[in-house]
Amino acid sequence: MTAMTARTATTAAAGPKRRRPRIGRALLLLVFAGYFLLPLYTAVDFTLGGSRRNMGHTLSIWTGLIHQDGFTENLMTSLKIAAVTVVLLLVLMVPTMAWLHLRLPRMRRLVEAVCLLPMAIPAVVIANGILGAFKSWPEAITGSWWILVFEYVVLALPFTYRSLDAGLSAIPLATLVEAARSLGASWPATLWRVVVPNIRTAIASAGILGAALALGEFTIAHLLLLDTFPVWTDQAGQQDGEVATTAAMLILFLSWLLLMVVSHLGRSRTAKTPKLQKTQTRTMQSQKPEKVGTGE
Partner 1 sequence: MSAPTVASALTAPTARSAPSVELVDLSRSFGGVAALDGLDLTVAPGTLTCLLGPSGCGKTTALRIIAGLEHCDRGEVRVDGQDVARVPANKRDMGMVFQSYSLFPNLNALDNVAFGLRMRGWNGAKRRTRAGELLELVGLSEHAAKYTHQLSGGQQQRVALARALAVEPRVLLLDEPLSALDAVVRVQLREEIRALQTRLGITTVFVTHDQEEALSVSDQVAVMRSGRLEQCAAPAEVYADPATAFVAEFIGTMNRLPGTLSSDGATVQVAGRRLTVRDGGPQLGGEVAVLIRPEAVRFELSETGAATVRQAGFRGPITRVVAVLEDGTEVLSDVPSASAAELVAGRRIDVVLADVPVLVVER
Contacts to partner 1 by CB under 8 A: 171-172, 175-176, 178-186, 189, 193-194, 197-198, 200, 272-276, 279-281, 283-290, 292-295
Nearer of residues 48 and 262 to partner 1, judged by Cβ: 262
Nearer of residues 24 and 197 to partner 1, judged by Cβ: 197
Query: Three-class SS string for 122-175?
Result: CHHHHHHHHHHHCCCCCHHHHCCHHHHHHHHHHHHHHHHHHHHHHHHHCCCHHH
DSSP classification of residue 225:
T
In angstroms, give the least distance from the CB of 199 to partner 1.
10
Integer Cα distance of 274 and 135 in angstroms: 49
Nearer of residues 141 and 183 to partner 1, judged by Cβ: 183
In angstroms, give the least distance from the CB of 222 to partner 1.
43
Residues in contact with 1: Cβ distance below 8 Å, sequence separation at least 6, in sequence order: none
In angstroms, give the least distance from the CB of 229 to partner 1.
36
In angstroms, give the least distance from the CB of 230 to partner 1.
37
Nearer of residues 172 and 237 to partner 1, judged by Cβ: 172
Q: What are the phi and psi torsion angles at 172 (to 5°)?
A: -80, 70
In angstroms, give the least distance from the CB of 82 to partner 1.
27
Total H helices, total E strands in the chain: 14, 0
Nearer of residues 202 and 244 to partner 1, judged by Cβ: 202
Amino acid sitting at position 117 = L
